[in-house]
Structures are given as structure tokens and as C-alpha cells.
């Protein structure tokens, strides 16, 4: 089954892009929240052009769900770009998250003596955990949090410290998700609303990748003894164990797909990364 092209670009995302472009000249630094499981696919290709040469801090969030070897490779890869610093964090380690302000200050040494507060624009795709990180950095619940895409709808200035202001922006994607695998990875991790997806196809995409990259995780999770099998066989096996078989033993593919994706997103198959830097294969 070929990977289906996914395009999800609600009207408010186009508005967010225009507002970000308008505000960018006023900011000192750009902070982009990435999903550590898909650092490439969660990097918005519109941001480099929008930021120009401003210092750029890429924050790989949800590092506790990602393959640590891949995360290290991604950090090295991202920092090959001039002006870019990359760091991995997880919300459970609040000290790491609060330390992001110091990392940002270090990228702007000339701004540390007096003057107006640092203004940092904070960007991120939907459902990447941006609002949660903002609340931790600020030490208070100020940004609206929700376990679904597109919770933040408007820009907001948030005082994170005496010398630091965050310009929170709505999560936005881009009009054309290329290559098709990019949209599939975003869908697997929950950055695109399930309601607009064919979950069967997304589950097949995830299953193919897991069979190729992490077969031992699947064997342990679902007690699989076979060494060679196809995505449908995996979901059928899962379905038998999770009560997804109907009359005559027919698989309820929709239900099995939902369970598979839910368990993968929650870290039920261990720490995994869905893409590696091109130089890593």
C-alpha cells in the first residue's frame, strides 16, 4: 500500500503564518519545539525563511519517548546549520525545561546587560507539547494545554522572567506535506486530527516501519513468534489479543488500528524514533 498524501491546513493556520511573518522582525530569538520522535518531519520548512539569521533554538521535546541514539544523531545534524542550537528535553524533568531560558540567554550574549527583555518567538507544530513547556518555563499555568492538535489559536506575549518574554504562537503546519511520509509521520504521532485521517493507512505505515526498524519491540509487546510478516498480519495478531475480532473471526481493522496507534503514541512499545537524519540512514 502506497503512503497516502496528507494535507491538513485549517484556515487559522494560514492566519498564524501571516501573523508570525509580521511579528518576526521584532523578536531576538526563535525557539521551535520539535517532536523528538520525528525531528525532521516536525521541523516546519517555512520557519528558516521566516527567521532569517536570528539565533535559532531547536527543542526536541518528548525525548523520553524517542530512541536516545537517534536523538543524539539529530542534535548533531541540526547543529550543523549556522546559528542553530539543539537540545532535548522531557516535561517530567522540569529543571531541563526551565534551563531553556538560560540556554537562550547564552545565545544572545550582547543582550544580557540591561535594555529591554529578550523577546523570543516560540513555534511548534500542533500537539507537540509547546504549551506544557511554556507553563514549566514560566513556573505557572498560563498557556492552555490539551492533548489534541491546534489548541493555541492566537499569539500571546508571556512574561517568563524579568528579562525574558515569550511570544507564543498557534501551532501551524504547512500547505503541502512533502514527501508523503512526512504527513504520515505527523499523523502517527498525533499532530494531525484523527478525524481527518484514514487510520487504517496510518496504522499500516507505522506497522511497516516498526517491522523494519524495531521488530523486537513488536515481538515483546504482542508476543509474536514469527520473524517475517506483513502489517495486516500484525494488526490481526493485535486484534486477536485486544478483542478486535468480530463474527467469524473477522478483524475489526479500524479498532485494531486505533489501539495500535494509541499504544505507539503513549510509548507502549518503548523509546522509538520514526526517522533518522539522512546521513544516518
For the chain, the structural domain boundaries read: 11-168, 198-280
Residues in a beta bridge with 57 = 31, 85
* Amino acid 220: pLDDT: 93
Grid cell digits, residue 10: 485549517
Cβ–Cβ < 8 Å for 35, 223: no
- Give the pLDDT confidence score for residue 147 in this predicted structure: 47
| pTM, full prediction | 0.86
At 5, give phi and psi (nearest 5°): -80, 130
State the Cα–Cα distance between residues 272 and 59, nearest whole angstrom: 17
User: pLDDT in tens for each of the 281 residues of the chain?
Assistant: 445 555 544 455 567 677 788 888 999 999 999 999 999 999 888 888 888 889 999 999 999 999 999 999 999 999 999 999 999 999 889 999 999 999 999 999 876 566 789 999 999 888 899 989 999 999 888 766 554 444 444 568 999 999 999 998 876 665 556 677 888 999 999 888 887 788 999 999 999 999 999 999 999 999 999 889 999 999 999 999 999 988 888 999 999 999 999 999 999 999 999 999 984 44
**Bridge partner residues of 118 (DSSP):** 164
pLDDT value at residue 45: 83
What CA–CA distances, in Å, run from 108 to 101, 104, 273?
11, 7, 31
The DSSP code for 266 is: T
Number of Cβ within a 10 Å radius of residue 8 = 20
pLDDT digits (tens, 9 = 90+) for 67-95: 999 999 999 999 999 999 999 999 889 99
pLDDT for position 182? 86
State the Cα angle at 279 between 278 and 281, rounded to 5°.
Answer: 65
- Return the CATH class of domain 198-280: mainly alpha
Q: Measured between alpha carbons, how far is 61 from 8 in angstroms, rounded to an integer?
A: 22
The alpha carbon of residue 226 and the mean position of all alpha carbons in its chain are separated, in whole angstroms, by 32
Is residue 174 exposed (0-12), middle (13-18) or buried (19+ Cβ within 10 Å)? middle
Cell of 108: 544572545
In whole angstroms, give the CA distance from residue 66 to residue 35: 9
Query: How far is Cα 71 from Cα 48, in angstroms, rounded to an integer?
Result: 21
Q: Spell out the residues 6+ positions from residue 137 whose beta carbon is closer than 8 angstroms to its own.
A: 97, 98, 100, 101, 160, 166
* Contact residues for 204 (Cβ-Cβ < 8 A; gap 6+): 1, 231, 232, 235
Q: Which CATH superfamily is domain 11-168 in?
A: P-loop containing nucleotide triphosphate hydrolases (3.40.50.300)
Query: Which regions of 21-83 does DSSP assign to beta strands (E)?
Result: 29-35, 56-61
Evaluate whether 193 touches 183 at the Cβ level (below 8 Å). no
State how far the Cα of 43 lies from the Cα of 58, in Å rounded to an integer. Answer: 9
Say what the pLDDT of residue 151 is.
Answer: 44
Centre a 10 Å sphere on the Cβ of residue 47 and count the other Cβ atoms it contains.
Answer: 19
CA distance 77 to 98: 24
Place of cell 499523523: 187
Amino acid at each position: 500500500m502506497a503512503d497516502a498524501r496528507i494535507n491538513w491546513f485549517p484556515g487559522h493556520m494560514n492566519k498564524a503564518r501571516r501573523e508570525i511573518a509580521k511579528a518576526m522582525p521584532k523578536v531576538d530569538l526563535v525557539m521551535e519545539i520539535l517532536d523528538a520522535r520525528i525531528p525532521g518531519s516536525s521541523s516546519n520548512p517555512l520557519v528558516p525563511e521566516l527567521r532569517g539569521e536570528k539565533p535559532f533554538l531547536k527543542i526536541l521535546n518528548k525525548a523520553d519517548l524517542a530512541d536516545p541514539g537517534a536523538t543524539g544523531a539529530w542534535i548533531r545534524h541540526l547543529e550543523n546549520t549556522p546559528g542553530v542550537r539543539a537540545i532535548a528535553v522531557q516535561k517530567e524533568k522540569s529543571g531541563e525545561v526551565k534551563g531553556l531560558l538560560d540556554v537562550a540567554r547564552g545565545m544572545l550574549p550582547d543582550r544580557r546587560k540591561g535594555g529591554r527583555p529578550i523577546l523570543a518567538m516560540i513555534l511548534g507544530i500542533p500537539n507537540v507539547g509547546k504549551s506544557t513547556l511554556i507553563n514549566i518555563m514560566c513556573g505557572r499555568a498560563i498557556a492552555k494545554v490539551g492533548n489534541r492538535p491546534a489548541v493555541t489559536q492566537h499569539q500571546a506575549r508571556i512574561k517568563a522572567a524579568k528579562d525574558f518574554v515569550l511570544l507564543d504562537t498557534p501551532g501551524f503546519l504547512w500547505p503541502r506535506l512533502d514527501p508523503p511520509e512526512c504527513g504520515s509521520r505527523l499523523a502517527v504521532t498525533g499532530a494531525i486530527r484523527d478525524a481527518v485521517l484514514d487510520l487504517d493507512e496510518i496504522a499500516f505505515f507505522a506497522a511497516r516501519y516498526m517491522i523494519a526498524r524495531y521488530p523486537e519491540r513488536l515481538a515483546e509487546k504482542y508476543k509474536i513468534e514469527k520473524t517475517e510478516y506483513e502489517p495486516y498480519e500484525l494488526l490481526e495478531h493485535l486484534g486477536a489479543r485486544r478483542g478486535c475480532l468480530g463474527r467469524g473471526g473477522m478483524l475489526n481493522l479500524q479498532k485494531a488500528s486505533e489501539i495500535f496507534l494509541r499504544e505507539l503514541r503513549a510509548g507502549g512499545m518503548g523509546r522509538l524514533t520514526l526517522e533518522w537524519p539522512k546521513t544516518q540512514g
